[in-house]
Structure 1
């Protein structure tokens, strides 16, 4: 499980890094075109917007996978042992339900609508832009499953350590 999570982390982080580098180069290009040549590029502006959405959503999936998202620890700090595992599993299942409803099902609806639309300047069907929404939903779901397995295994190992 740890290897799968590690591969996912590295792949998503690398993709985000590549997208950020691409966005940096596009921004430099856009500034040069706008101020040096007085000819702003609408294509680069549109690509920057889409890249920003993609890097944000992929970053969201990565943060959920690493459990680095914001959380209120008032309750989780008070419970220990089995109660903490139950709370952690419940939280992961709740996040998974939201990922399914919002990202996967909502993203599929966006893609259906996007297949009827063309992007204004680069003229591609918008479902190619919106495809990142259900992809991130699936990534978050996989991370949820891996996190649940990891929490249960960690609790099992700590309980075995107490028994010995």
Structure 2
């Protein structure tokens, strides 16, 4: 499980870093064309917007995988043993529910509608842009399963230490 998480973390981190570098170059190009040549590039503006959405959502999946998302630890810090495990699994299952509804079901509908829309500046259908929603949903679900497995293994490890 750790190997899967490590591979996913490295791959997503690399993709996000490459996309951020691409966005930096694109924004620089846009500023130069706008102010130096007085001919703003609408294509780069749209591409920058879509890239921002993609990097944000891929970054969201990465943050969920590393369990670094915003959370209130008021109760979880006070729980130990099985109660902590139950709360951790419950939290992950709540996230799974939201991901299924928003990213998978909603994302699938967006992709379907996006096939009927076109980006005039990029000359492509919007389904390619909206495809990031189900992709992010699948990545978060994989991370959720890894998080649940890790919580169970950690609980079993704590139980073994108590017995000894």
Alignment TM class, shorter chain as reference: over 0.9
How far the C-alpha of 1:77 sits from its partner, in A, is: 1.6
Q: Which runs of 5+ in 1 are unaligned?
A: none
Between the aligned partners of 1:73 and 1:95, the Cα distance in structure 2 is 16
How far the C-alpha of 1:75 sits from its partner, in A, is: 1.2
- What RMSD over aligned residues (CA atoms) do the two structures have, in Å? 0.6
Name the counterpart of 2:62: 62
Q: TM-score, normalised by structure 2?
A: 0.99
SS in 1 for 2:8: helix
Between the aligned partners of 2:157 and 2:84, the Cα distance in structure 1 is 14
Name the counterpart of 1:19: 19
Aligned pairs (5 A) from 1:140-151: 140-151=140-151
How far the C-alpha of 1:78 sits from its partner, in A, is: 1.9
Q: Which runs of 5+ in 2 are unaligned?
A: none
Aligned pairs (5 A) from 1:41-60: 41-60=41-60
Aligned pairs (5 A) from 1:104-123: 104-123=104-123
Between the aligned partners of 1:73 and 1:28, the Cα distance in structure 2 is 41
Q: TM-score, normalised by structure 1?
A: 0.99
The alignment covers a number of residue pairs equal to 164
Name the counterpart of 2:89: 89
